A and B are shown apart, each in its own frame.
Chain A
């Protein structure tokens, strides 16, 4: 960071004196319990898939992730998820449900610009980076694992 001039430092002091303190601990607790509840719902969906469909614990992960994203998309459309986001912050953004929220909220926001250039062009503005980095990371990790198995480092 650039060094502040004397005037700026004095101003910063003034700001600090009048600024409200951020309730970090409370925010963390809120994020923790909301994120935990979301994950619990995800676990319930997984168990639902295991019980009623031919999925094992290994394979039930994929469909439950997509169902959770779908739930988040629905809730975003109903206008519930943004309230949840205001309350819980990262607790609602870090689980996969945040991905669905990012897609649909961008789609709703740019609806007025038209269906193709508005919705289609902006839908993945935020979520696109998730996909790109996810695919890239998966590619490189897969490459590393394949090489390690090939050379017999891991089983």
Chain B
């Protein structure tokens, strides 16, 4: 029985460690490249108006935008259609930019980490851009 108890403690630890993921942080944005502030604010406002979503982070680099959001739990069944709607709106509005949308917790977590670091001036512009590339790569990974 001792092994079982130890396993249970380990599992409980893992369960509790995940809690950081679920705290609400509100809408936020981060602009790596200057001159994108208007665009980011517009996107942010639009996403904020979408009722199904909460906790949004918009990151804008030179020609790349990453929007990550969390979907309210009861609306998670409609996740695909929400994403499609947002994507269509973004593509009509900014046809010359690469926009990545993601509702994934991991992408949100990484974006949030990057944003906090950026706000605290812990990363340089190059580092931030590199990190953003990495996040986008992670997002597109399928297996």
Q: Render B115-143 as a binary contact track against A, CB cut-off 8 A, 1 for contact.
A: 00000000000000000000000110111
Given known pairs A71-B7, A75-B7, the reply for A55 and B106 (CB within 8 Å) is: yes
Consensus secondary structure, chain B interface: helix
Given known pairs A41-B11, A78-B3, A78-B4, the reply for A48 and B18 (CB within 8 Å) is: yes
Q: Give the distance to chain A from B106, nearest Cβ to Cβ, in Å.
A: 4
Interface size, chain A (Cβ < 8 Å)? 22
Consensus secondary structure, chain A interface: helix
Stretch at the interface among A22-30, A56-64, A87-95, A104-112: A56-64
Q: CA–CA, A97 to B139, complex, Å? A: 29
B94 at the interface (CB under 8 A from A): no
Given known pairs A44-B15, A44-B18, A48-B18, the reply for A57 and B106 (CB within 8 Å) is: yes
- Give B contacts to A, CB under 8 Å: 1, 3-4, 7, 11, 14-15, 17-18, 20-21, 104-107, 109, 138-139, 141-143
- Contact sample, A vs B, 6 pairs, CB 8 Å cutoff: A44-B15, A47-B18, A50-B18, A52-B17, A60-B106, A62-B143
